[in-house]
């Protein structure tokens, strides 16, 4: 907004148009199938609730055993154990890679370089949030505005110490929601 630009999610706008102008509820969505393993990568319009395993099978299956399955994109996605879950309204894409393709990251202590702070689009202090969760100082989560995090993944991507900052933040949010629900 500061520079007069608004970025909108095209899929969300299309769904709003369908709902408001045609009375059509959100019953399907475009899902991207990618990564090195799917035989039929591409964009597919799928009903919400479609089992992921059925979806992958119908696109031709996999070239071999899956080593890592990611629900979402490379920056914001979360690893999944298997394909035994359905397409939800939040499933933007599924990435499937072979064994050994994703190298494990050796997570180390924060060196306070400040890279995560300088890159955060929400003006947060990601290093503090990850430390708060790691050392279970949960009463400080609100103080550092954890709920303002949009989980873009930029901080984790930049961190030279390989810290899983977004995963810590997700854990912190889950703890906050659970504690505030009582």
Residues that bind ligand SF4 (CB under 6 A): 110-116, 119-122, 124, 126-127, 130, 149-155, 158-161, 163, 165-166, 169
What is the closest distance, in whole angstroms, from the C-beta atom of residue 105 to ligand SF4 in the complex? 12
What is the closest distance, in whole angstroms, from the C-beta atom of residue 129 to ligand SF4 in the complex? 6
Pull the structure tokens for residue 171: 């854990």
What is the closest distance, in whole angstroms, from the C-beta atom of residue 128 to ligand SF4 in the complex? 9
Chain length of the chain: 182
**68-71: strand order across its sheet:** 42-47, 28-34, 93-97, 68-71, 78-80
CB closer to ligand SF4, 38 vs 172:
172
CA distance 43 to 36: 15
* CA 179 to chain CA mean position, Å: 23
Q: Is 44 within 8 Å of 59 (Cβ atoms)?
A: yes
CB closer to ligand SF4, 48 vs 122:
122
* CA 7 to chain CA mean position, Å: 18
CB closer to ligand SF4, 31 vs 155:
155
CB closer to ligand SF4, 62 vs 110:
110
């Amino acid at each position: 907004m500061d520079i007069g630009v608004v970025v909108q999610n095209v899929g969300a706008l299309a769904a709003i148009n369908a709902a408001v102008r045609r009375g059509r509820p959100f019953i399907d969505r475009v899902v991207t199938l990618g990564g090195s393993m799917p035989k039929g990568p591409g964009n597919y319009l799928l009903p919400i609730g479609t089992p992921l395993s059925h979806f992958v099978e119908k696109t031709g299956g996999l070239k071999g055993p899956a080593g890592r399955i990611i629900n979402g994109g490379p920056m914001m996605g979360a690893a999944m154990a298997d394909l035994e879950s359905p397409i939800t309204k939040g499933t933007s894409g599924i990435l499937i890679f072979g064994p050994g393709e994703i190298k494990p990251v050796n997570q180390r202590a924060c060196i306070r370089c400040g890279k995560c702070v300088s890159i955060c689009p929400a003006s947060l202090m990601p290093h503090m949030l990850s430390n708060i969760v790691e050392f279970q100082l949960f009463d400080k989560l609100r103080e550092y505005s954890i709920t303002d995090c949009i989980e873009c993944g930029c901080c984790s991507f930049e961190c030279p110490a390989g810290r899983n900052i977004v995963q810590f933040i997700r854990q912190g949010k889950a703890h906050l929601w659970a504690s505030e629900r009582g």
